[in-house]
Amino acid sequence: MRWTPGDRSNIEDMRGRSGGMAMGAGGLGVGGLLLLLVLSWATGIDLTSIAGGGSSAPPPEAVGTSGKVAATPDEERRVDMVDAVMDDAQDTWKQLLGGRYQETKAVLFRDSINSACGFAQSATGPFYCPADRKVYLDLGFFDEMHRKLGAPGDFAQAYVLAHELGHHVQTITGTESQVRQRQASSPASRNALSVRMELQADCYAGVWGYHANKGGSRVQLDPDDTEEALTAAAAIGDDRLQRMQTGRVAPERFTHGTSQQRVEWFTRGMRSGDPNVCNTFQ
C-alpha cells in the first residue's frame, strides 16, 4: 500500500496524555477483549487483571501531560498512514452517503485512555466509541497484530481502521442504535447480533478497499494488499482466537464471527464496492 502524508487533520493525537482511571469500556472493537485474552495467553502475563481493575493509579507525572511525544520515525510514519487511510476512507463514505456522512477522527493514545465509552487500555485493541463517535487506536496494536497474530502489512492495518470506521457508518445510519435496542429487549440474541454488526463492519471495510483499489485520493493499493487484509480478517476470527486461547471453540460465545465469515464479508464488500451488499441482518 502506498499513501501520501498530509496535514493529519484526521488525527486527534493524545499520545502525550495519559487517561485517568475509570471503570468499563463500551466501545466496539475489532476483536478486542478476546485479543486481550490471547495476549495474556501468548505473553504469560494476566493482562485481564490489569484492564478495568481500577486499583492501580497511573504514574502521577503522566496525568494531564500533553503536547510533544517522543516518537520514532517509524511511529511517525504510521501516524501519517492512519491519517491517509482515515482521509481516503472518509472520502469514500462521503461519496457513498452524501450529506448524511459526518466526519470523525482517529484518536491516537498510548497505554490507556479515558474515552466517552469508558477507560480503555491498549491491550483491548482498537475500538469505535458510539458515544463520542470516534475511532481509538494505540499504534502499538499493529506490532501485536504482526508478532502475536501473524497479520503483518500496512493494508492489514488499514483494514482494522476501515472496520472501525464501518462502526461509525453504522452509528450514522442508525444501525448501531437499532441493534442496541434489539440486544436490550432480547439478551439471548446479544452475541448473535454482535456478530452481524461486526461482519457488516468487515464488509464496509471491504467497500472502502474496493474504492481505494480503483485509485483513491491518498491511498493506492499494491497487488498483494488484498491478501494482507484477508490474512488479518482470518487472524481475528472468534474461532481462531478461542482456539489460540483455550484450544477449544465455543460458538455461543462468538461476538465477531469466525475467520471464514470475516474473510467472506470483507471479500463481498471488496468485490462490489457497494454497501448494499453488506446486509448481514437478512
Residue numbers of the site for Zn ion (CB under 5 A)? 28, 30, 198, 201
Backbone angles phi, psi at 113, to 5 degrees: -155, 150
Question: 30 or 158: whose CB is closer to Zn ion?
Answer: 30
To the nearest whole angstrom, how small is the minimum distance from the Cβ of residue 173 to Zn ion? 15
Give the nearer residue to Zn ion in terms of CB position, either 125 or 218. Answer: 125
Question: Distance (Å, rounded) from C-alpha 127 to C-alpha 217?
Answer: 25
What's at 217, amino acid-wise? S
- In the complex with Zn ion, which residue's Cβ is closer, 18 or 144? 144
Nearest distance in Å: CB 73, Zn ion: 30
- Say if strands 134-137 and 106-108 run parallel, antiparallel, or are unpaired: parallel
**Nearest to 194, CA basis, from 208, 221, 175:** 175
Closer residue to Zn ion, CB minimum distance, 8 or 113: 113
Nearer to Zn ion, 11 or 162 (CB): 162
Instruction: Tell me whether residue 8 or residue 206 sits nearer to Zn ion (CB atom).
Output: 206
- Residue 106, beta-bridge partner list: 11, 135
Cβ–Cβ < 8 Å for 101, 172? yes
Q: Is 129 strand, coil or helix?
A: strand
Q: How far is the CB of 27 from Zn ion (least distance, A)?
A: 9
| Residue 163 beta carbon to Zn ion: minimum distance, rounded to whole angstroms | 6
**Within a 10 A sphere around the Cβ of 163, how many other Cβ atoms?**
32
- Strand 112-115 vs strand 219-220: parallel, antiparallel, or unpaired? unpaired
Return the number of the residue (18 or 124) whose C-beta is nearest Zn ion. Answer: 124
Decide: helix, strand or coil at residue 63: strand
- Give which of 29, 31, 279, 30 is closest to 175, Cα–Cα: 279
What is the C-alpha to C-alpha distance for residues 203 and 278, in angstroms, rounded to an integer?
6
Q: How far is the CB of 167 from Zn ion (least distance, A)?
A: 6
Nearest-approach distance from CB 253 to Zn ion, in angstroms: 16
Name the DSSP letter for residue 186: -
| Greatest Cα-to-Cα distance within the chain, rounded to the nearest angstrom | 51
Nearest CB to Zn ion, comparing residues 183 and 220: 183
CB-CB contact of 101 with 7 (8 Å): no
As measured in angstroms, the least distance from the Cβ of 31 to Zn ion is 7
User: Residue 176 — φ and ψ, nearest 5°?
Assistant: -60, -45
Give me the least distance between CB of 204 and Zn ion, in Å please: 10
